[in-house]
Amino acid sequence: MKFKYVENDPMDKVPAPVGKMIATMIGCVGYMVVYLFIWCAIYGWRP
Amino acid sequence: MGPKIFALIVILVFFAVMIGIGFYYNKKGEADSNSDDYILAGRKAPLLIVAGSLFATWVSSATVMGYAGSGYTVGLGAYWSGASFIAATMWMGIWIIPRLRKAGITTVPELFEHYFGPAHRLVALLLSLGRDLGVIASISIALAQIFQSLFGISQIMALCITVGVVLVFTASGGMWAVLVTDTIQSVMIIAGSVVLIPLGIWKAGGFAAFCAQVPATHINPVSAGFSQTLGWLLMGCFISFAYQTVLQRGLAAKDDETAKKCFLYGGGMAMLWYITPFMVGMVARVVYPNINASDAYLTMCNILGPYAGAFFVVCLMASCMSTISSCILTTTANITLDVYKRFINPKASDKQIVTLQRVCLLVIVVVCAWVGKMLPYILELFWIGGRIMASGLAPVFVAIVLWPKARRAPKATLLAMIGGAAFNIAAQVYQSSAFAAMGGQNDVVTLFSLDPVLAGLPACFVILILGVLLETRNQTRETLLQYKVD
């Protein structure tokens, strides 16, 4: 089975450092979690 | 003037505006010149339009009515099941979309052929189509049912009218018409849903009285338990990663920076709104404690009487239409570009492809509406396709975009797609049978003890990671140059 090797692939010109990718995923999920917890707290939920 | 006549006038005006936008972009010639213009709005859509469209694509009758039902039963803790899609969408805007734009592709299967060959393209196409066709079929039926409940006409007549309108504005105006109508529809969705919450709280006797009556479980953010919450989070993320309809919004943006902002702003806006249907459901639990969970949203729509109810229902129809129009355009791109142009007529001109795309829209809508009408378990079909795509296609797609080694491992990537999907299907079949044997009603939706995504995803990851490392371990620069393409 063959593949097509693209030297200097244009996709790789956009940097994607693993640490930053993980940090932004945590940020996006964190945004969701914080927003949910705020609404629950507004309605009277306490941990 | 009775509420039905009022509803009819509102709907006719709404339909006229949608069709008018379609014809406007058709006359302007924005959708006529080539397939890129028709499917991706010529890759020059501005920020506001793409962000609004992205928001509307994530909102459908399934999200509004289904999530209101979850809010009624589970409470705000069910928010994880919807918002995880949005969290993943925002992340994709930062890392996946800019890279995909550099690849210059139009569809997800095209990316697979770009690095491998037709076998990869076909497998990716099959895994993509399952979800999109299920979405079109199920939401077409939901849209017809709403129209039918308003005017008391037959389902087939309701289906012809509502889906016919979607077809006309999508076929005539292409992606431009879909982007602009989506943006208008997103404003209607926000207006027609957010206002129900204060109205419901007011009906419950005010905020303090409402808080005193709401069950404690309904305001617990993890009321569904850790395992279910994690399952929702993973399923939402991986369905989003390969959701072509969303990816094409990023490809349609006029430049990389606009695409990134669209996903962050559109996603951020959708994330804020997504709590709304769960809250509407929770409020309905207090105000109408003895209704079916699935009726929560429509019951709340009538809280201010039949006239306001008619307006809210039109907003709900807007949400259905925006999702159907986006999905049929995506599926059209798959069939015309990934099948017809690739395998049947590679020399087809741009004009021929655009004409075929218009015919294809009609065929897809008719077939999906027919399937949706014939099969009683359409809600389950909606999820089957999504789960298979999340387990088979999404991890491999993300790996190809972000991990250069994966682009040099044709066997591992193909096996991972097939393996992930196969494990998922096996888990769905086995658990559905077990559920049915125990007397469960699996003709509408199946309750799984372990979500099949949690069986398919690990299988896909193991095959993918080990396979790529093994397949590429002896590749040297000389070997790679043998496979080099310009």
Q: Contact at 8 Å (CB) between B432 and B442?
A: yes
- Whether the predicted pLDDT of B91 surpasses 70: yes
- Say how far apart CA B479 and CA B195 lie, in whole Å: 63
Q: Sort out which chain A residues have CB atoms less than 8 A from B480's CB and list them.
A: 5, 7
Mean pLDDT of B149-175: 83
Q: Report which of B325, B479, B397, B331 is spatially closest to residue B95, judged by C-alpha positions.
A: B397
Between B361 and B451, the higher pLDDT residue: B361
Interface of B with A in 277-316 (CB under 8 A): 279
Higher pLDDT pick, B267 / B326: B267
In this structure, what token pair is assigned to residue B427? 């888990």
Asked if B226 has any chain A CB less than 8 Å from its own CB, the reply is no
Query: Taking a contact as any Cβ pair under 8 Å apart, which residues of chain B between 408 and 427 contact chain A?
Result: 408-411, 414
| Beta-bridge partner residues of B253 | B45
Residue B381 has pLDDT above 70, yes or no: no
Residue position matching structure tokens 């939401």: B139
Q: Looking at residues B454-478, what average pLDDT do you find?
A: 92
- Can you spell out the DSSP letters for B76-92? GGGHHHHHHHHHHHHHH
Higher pLDDT pick, B54 / A19: A19
Q: Which of A13-17, B125-129, B251-255, B285-289 has the lowest mean pLDDT?
A: B251-255
Can you give the pLDDT at residue B399? 96
Q: Which of A22-36, B14-28, B49-63 has the highest mean pLDDT?
A: A22-36
pLDDT at B446 over 70: no
The beta-carbon neighbor of A28 closest among B90, B211, B484 is B90
DSSP category for residue B377: T
> Does residue B440 register a pLDDT over 60?
no
Q: Residue B234 above 90 pLDDT? A: no
Residue B445: predicted pLDDT: 44
Residue of B nearest to A25 (CA): B91
Q: Which two tokens stand for residue B265?
A: 């702003």
Output the pLDDT for position B63: 73
Q: Is B411 exposed, middle or buried (0-12, 13-18, 19+ CB in 10 A)?
A: middle
pLDDT of residue B33: 59
Along the 47 residues of chain A, how does pLDDT read in single tens digits? 788 888 888 999 999 999 999 999 999 999 999 999 999 999 999 88
Contact B192, B316 (CB under 8 A): yes
Range from B161-165, B194-198, B216-220, B243-247 that averages highest in pLDDT: B216-220
- Both tokens assigned to B92: 């994709």
Share of chain B above pLDDT 90, in %: 25
Query: How many whole angstroms separate alpha carbon B339 and alpha carbon B121?
Result: 9
Residue B361 has a pLDDT of: 84
Q: Which residue of B has its CA nearest to A30?
A: B87
The residue of A6, A13, A24, A37 whose CB has the most chain B CBs within 10 angstroms, and thus the best one to mutate to test that interface, is: A6
- Asked whether the predicted pLDDT for residue B140 surpasses 90, the reply is no
Burial grade of B291 (CB within 10 A; 0-12, 13-18, 19 or more): middle
pLDDT at residue A35 in the model: 96
CA distance B181 to B17: 9
Check: CB of residue B395 under 8 Å from CB of residue B401: no
pLDDT computed for residue B18 by the predictor: 81
Which positions ≥6 away from B309 have C-beta within 8 Å?
B3, B301, B302, B303
Local structure of residue B253 (DSSP, 8 states): B
User: How high does pLDDT run on average in chain B?
Assistant: 83
Burial of B154 (0-12, 13-18, 19+ CB in 10 A): exposed
First to last CA, chain A: 55
For residues B416-428, give the mean pLDDT: 91
Q: How far is A7 from chain B (nearest CA, A)?
A: 7
What is chain B's length?
A: 486
Indicate whether B442 pLDDT > 50: no
Place of tokens 């060959």: B117
Please state, in angstroms and as integers, the Cα–Cα distance from residue B291 to each residue in A46, B51, B69, B116, B220, following that order: 28, 36, 10, 53, 22
Please give the residue that has the higher pLDDT: either B53 or B41.
B53
Give the confidence band of B475 by pLDDT, cuts at 50, 70, 90: confident
A26-43 in b/e form (b: 16+ CB < 10 A) is: eebbebbbebbeebbeeb
Q: Does residue B251 sit at the A interface (CB-CB below 8 Å)?
A: no
Rounded CA-CA distance B255/B15 in Å is 32
| Residue of B404, B409, B414 lying closest to A12 (CB–CB) | B404
Give pairs for B449-453: CB < 8 Å, separation 24+: B451/B231, B451/B234, B451/B235, B451/B387, B452/B387, B452/B391, B452/B424, B452/B425, B452/B427, B452/B428, B453/B231, B453/B234, B453/B235, B453/B238, B453/B387, B453/B390, B453/B391, B453/B424
Q: Is the pLDDT score of B441 beyond 60?
A: no
Please state, in angstroms and rounded to a whole number, the distance separating the CA atoms of residues B7 and B315. Answer: 11
pLDDT at B443: 43
Judge whether B112 is closer than 8 Å to chain A, CB to CB: no
Partner residue facing B91 (CB), from A1, A28, A39: A28
Of A26-30, B55-59, B344-348, B410-414, the poorest mean pLDDT is in B55-59
In this structure, what token pair is assigned to residue B470? 């093994």
Q: Are B142 and B378 in contact (CB under 8 A)?
A: no
Residue in B80, B86, B99 to test binding to A, most A beta-carbons within 10 Å: B99
Q: Are B411 and B448 in contact, with CB atoms under 8 Å apart? A: no
Other C-beta atoms lying within 10 Å of the C-beta of residue B167: 22
Assess whether pLDDT exceeds 70 at residue B221: yes
Contact B273, B61 (CB under 8 A): no
Percent of chain B with pLDDT over 70: 91
Q: CB–CB of A2 and B115 under 8 A? A: no
Banded pLDDT at B123 (limits 50, 70, 90): very high
